[in-house]
Amino acid sequence: MARIREGLPLEKRGDKGERAEKQAEAIVGAAIASRGERERVESEEPREGKPAGMKLQLALFSSLFLNAYFYFCLFLHHHQPPPSLGWAGSAAAEAEAVAAIDCSGHGRAFLDGVLAGGGLPVCYDCSRLLHDCPADVDSGDPLFLEAYWQQQAASSAVVVSGWHRMTYSTNGKDYISIELEKHIRILHQAVGNAVTDGKFIVFGSGSAQLINALVYALSPSNASSSPASVVASAPYYPFYKKQTNLFETREYGWGGTTATWANASVSSATNVIEFVTSPNNPDGLFKQPVLGTSAVIFDYAYYWPHYSPILDPADEDVMLFTNSKISGHAGSRWAVIKDEGVYERTAKYLSLNTMGVSRDTHLRVLKLIKRRREEKGTSSSSVLRAKARWSKLHELASSSSRFSLQHSAQHRNYFERSETLLPYAWLKCEWKEDEDCHEALRKGSIISRAGALFEADSRYTRLSLIKTQDDFDLFLKRMQPLVSREEMASS
């Protein structure tokens, strides 16, 4: 019986396989070995007798049983139901219930919306189209990305415990979490639009807080120095002037447009802080500093792949970015700063102004950046759908002598060929009687952003092309009669 006893350890080898259930290949190999052993022993069975055959069958059945057991365990491992939610279950159910409200496909409902009957929020922005409403193409809300985030519901959702970061401080420096700062750097490296190595990052609230924080940080701290003059080239983002005028101190004040300084003698000793937005809001052009001073704030809000070609990584001393234009979620900005002294003064301003940003905002932006980083900041399907809007508007304006789009042919051709979206249309009213283009559109039930707000000629007005599809469709419907009017006037 010596040979049969040598075969019995097969069962023990099966027991060892139980501790490596996921290695199915090893199990199958054991079964093949068992079959070979059976054939070998069967060839010797006449010499050993019936007891050997019975033990061989027992070994075979044991091996088959173990194989079946292991495969069953593997099946359970891959098909087991997800673990049930604990305290997060009710929060997840509430969020799912609100997200399921489709508002007839035209509106939206929010968790913090006004409650209707049944305890669910009412639809916001009207759940059915009201055809007597004016077309609103004023704000820069990137709602064209809303459909993208609906498709990314699971990967973008955030569940926050009631005790999440209840203190004033974070685990990072100067009110920014370590993970958020790390992923902001990773995002810029993946997109290739900014150099962050060896630089400091500060995180601010809303669209405007960091604007004045950086002006304060770049202003002379010496009381004997003359105050800094804050300037920008027209047309420019209106908040540069509004913020500076609101917080004007002995250290800085609004100095007007760069055109008023271009012919003046601006020496290195002159305290001038120049805002440069590139691509520019409202006309989308790439900009460079005009005055050549050392204190320049580069606002790269639109320097992302879906709005602009990424020519080179920006590597300026002070750079501003915004989450609203990378993900579509308004309410937070960050700055990348080279000089430690400027960084310290910016951090001091934020500490005295708000003592940081909401921890919930940190968490949400971190989640969104992680998702956007996986796609290097792009969302091609949403961008391509929104690009069709530009084509329709261009077709309408091309057939009109009353309105013209203020973009060079080269500039327009690039955007038509590439997978980028020009976010705004810079419209000019050509008729002599339309001295105020914003007002001319308002009479046609179109709300735009007046050129005078950008310190441009009143014959210009800005049209936002990045809101919802309903907003754009209604805008085209309101524009058509204005174009038809000139056809009637010429007949």
Res 3 pLDDT > 50: no
**Predicted local confidence at residue 404, as pLDDT:** 93
Q: Write the class of the CATH domain 85-128.
A: mainly beta
Res 450 pLDDT > 60: yes
**Predicted local confidence at residue 52, as pLDDT:** 62
- When pLDDT is cut at 50, 70 and 90, the band that residue 15 belongs to is very low
- Mark 358-382 as b/e (b = at least 16 C-beta within 10 Å): ebebbbbbbbbbeebbeeebbbeeb
**Predicted local confidence at residue 416, as pLDDT:** 64
**Predicted local confidence at residue 217, as pLDDT:** 97
Cβ neighbours of residue 49 closer than 8 Å, sequence gap 6 or more: none
Q: Which of 66-70, 219-223, 285-289, 372-376 has the highest mean pLDDT?
A: 285-289
The predicted-structure confidence for 271-285, as pLDDT tens digits, reads as follows 899 999 999 999 989
**Predicted local confidence at residue 21, as pLDDT:** 44
**Predicted local confidence at residue 415, as pLDDT:** 63
CATH architecture of 380-490: Alpha-Beta Complex (3.90)
Res 432 pLDDT > 90: yes
The pair phi, psi for residue 338, each rounded to 5°, is -85, -50
Q: Write the class of the CATH domain 169-374.
A: alpha beta
**Predicted local confidence at residue 13, as pLDDT:** 40
Between the alpha carbon of residue 302 and those of residues 124, 180, 262, 321, 361, the distances in Å are 28, 21, 26, 8, 21
**Predicted local confidence at residue 76, as pLDDT:** 61
Give the pLDDT mean for 70-80.
Answer: 66
- When pLDDT is cut at 50, 70 and 90, the band that residue 79 belongs to is low
Res 325 pLDDT > 70: yes
**Predicted local confidence at residue 7, as pLDDT:** 37
Q: Which of 49-58, 322-331, 346-355, 433-442 has the highest mean pLDDT?
A: 433-442
CA 86 – CA 309 distance, rounded (Å): 46
